[in-house]
Chain A
Amino acid sequence: MAQKIKIIAATGCPTGIAHTFMAEEALKKAAEKLGVEIKVETHGQVGVQNPLTKEDIRKADGVIIAADKDINADRFVGKPTVDVPVSKAIKDAEELIKMIIEGKARPYRIKNIQNKSMETEDLTKGSGLGRQIYKHLMNGVSHMLPFVVGGGILIASSFLFGIHSADPNHESYNRFAELLNKTGGLGFQLMVPILAAFIAESMAKRPGMVVGFIGGMIAFTGGAGFLGGIAAGFLGGGIIFLLQKIFSGLPKSLDGLKAIFLYPVLGIFLMGLIMFPLVEPMTTINEAMKSFLSDFQGSNPILLGFIVGSMCAFDMGGPVNKAAYVTGTALLAEGNYYFMAGVSAACITPPLIIAFATVFFRKYFNQSEQNAGLVNFILGSTHITEGAIPFAAKDPLVVIPILMLGSSVSAILTYLMKVQVPAPHGGFLVLPVVNGAFQWVFAILIGSLIGAFIYGIYRKRTYQE
């Protein structure tokens, strides 16, 4: 009698409570009925159970992947594999096993990443370009978040020693504060490259990550801010897709060469070729925005507040936001404390908008967003605008205008009430030296609450769809 066919399987559903095990049971039943051996590895909430050993994989005649989550399928490269959503295994386990018995399963290759993720999406829900883009953005943002939170809190903590305490030449200098500030600062420097890297990684795995990372660094060092980072991320994924297409005809034996040499070298080269020219105009834009703004210096507070507010919230870390901030600090040095007051208000508002929204509309934010939202109270209060970036990056077309609106309201009110802020940074930590502190906080709160309300309603609407 011939040896029984050996099949291995891995099941996994996102919640990890029921479908994972139902698929396991269905496959086991079907295997018994059809007279084949099967070992099923499950990915449930308790963790990975019954893990497949290298020996199991080596001896297997076929693999069934029944998962709606990552079950580390790279292990199965080359093995005849049937790759389906977990619900398919629950419903048609016998059909899947028959495919392997009859030799209809094709060898598993990583090449099909893009196609597979689109297939899974199609089978579970209606797919569409919008969902794809969102998925890639989300991957970038979720990796970036810890850098923003960790970095931001450290920087804010350093301000407790004095807003200039990290500066060796200042009288309030403190070595520990400098340590906090520098370490936190590194988190911020990595923010945009990480965002770009993992947008690209979602699209094209590791080769994408490499190219996206470089693109993000170019965006960051070139002053393009997080918007530049987003562009670099999608560009990185696109470059790898292009290279994959170009080299798709190469023999399989060269797959290793592609991964270690062709994709990285050509990918990075193309990224540099495209990104460097793109960030060149950033300095020009920055200068243009500065001179634009200085034309409005003396004009009516409502118009100025609107412009300053919008500029500060538009592209945190980018040329426009920087132009407003630098103009503020320059005028500060000349003794104009009024202008800076509006700039500060506009920079404090975006994180507070996020923070209030996650508190009042808690239901429509997931756990990590709620946590990041709370952190934004601290970041906003210490003038660390970047706290809002992860939320803006997820949904730039909607969130940025909302932030611009909130910041404008804060800035307009600040200018109308003629608040004076003599410090370039620090947020509420410099309240003692603010002229019109109460009005300033009031203005900021109004702008933040308005923005939070609108953002919250938007999240509620999208949640209910």
Chain B
Amino acid sequence: MILNEYLKEEWILLNQSLKNQEEVFYKIAETAVTNEIATNINEVVEGLKRREEEGTTGFLEGFAIPHTQNEAILRPAIIIIQNKKGIEWNSLDGIPSQFFISLLIPKKEAGTTHLTLLSSLSRMLMHEDIREKLKNAGRSKEIINVLQHLNH
């Protein structure tokens, strides 16, 4: 139930051919605005860049979690992008990033439900088997199934 509020099938983009970090950020922002998650592409891109500057969001085995908390964001949401090739992301283990789980959070949080969800998501990503399943997912539905674990 809860997951469906923050992650919809249309927000999962598979098999993308993005070439660099800028394009990934732009794609995330564009998806957000098209789906009425955010009001302004540039603000979202800037927010993602700012967070990235504080410290890379690429952590292990090609996974990255670019995120931002921003006035331009209307509702908390998870946008997922699966890219065909790895993109240089300055990640902790040096491996280029291919699987992006982007967390978009509104500036004024009315509650902490989404924060708990996001922290659960982060914890999940530390598990090898979860990462394997996500990487090999062929359809958006599969990804949502894997992440259903969050709904306990």
Contact = CB atoms under 8 A, between A and B. Distances in A.
The yes or no verdict on A and B being binding partners is: yes
Interface string B127-152: 10000000000000000000000000
A87 B55 contact: yes
Nearest to A44: B119
B55 A21 contact: no
A87 B59 contact: yes
B126 interface: yes
| Chain A residues touching B, majority SS | helix
Interface stretch (B2-10, B11-19, B20-28, B110-118): B110-118
Contacts of A68: 55
B115 A45 contact: yes
Contacts of A29: 126-127
B87 interface: no
A363 B71 CA distance: 11
A254 interface: no
Interface in B31-72: 43, 46, 51, 54-57, 59-60, 65, 67, 69
A17 B93 contact: no
B103 interface: yes
Contact of B122 (A21, A87, A124, A363): A21
A46 B122 CA distance: 14
A46 B114 CA distance: 10
A394 interface: no
Interface residues of A, number: 23
Contacts of A26: 126
B60 A17 contact: no
B77 interface: no
A25 B60 CA distance: 13
25 contacts: A14-B54, A15-B51, A15-B67, A15-B69, A17-B69, A17-B103, A17-B105, A17-B115, A17-B119, A17-B122, A18-B67, A20-B119, A21-B119, A21-B123, A25-B122, A25-B123, A25-B127, A26-B126, A29-B126, A29-B127, A42-B119, A45-B112, A45-B115, A46-B119, A90-B59
Interface of B: 43, 46, 51, 54-57, 59-60, 65, 67, 69, 92-93, 103, 105, 112, 115-116, 118-127
Given A14-B54, A19-B55, 18 more contacts: A14-B55, A15-B51, A15-B69, A17-B69, A17-B105, A17-B119, A18-B67, A18-B121, A19-B122, A21-B119, A22-B122, A25-B124, A46-B115, A46-B116, A87-B56, A90-B59, A90-B92, A91-B60
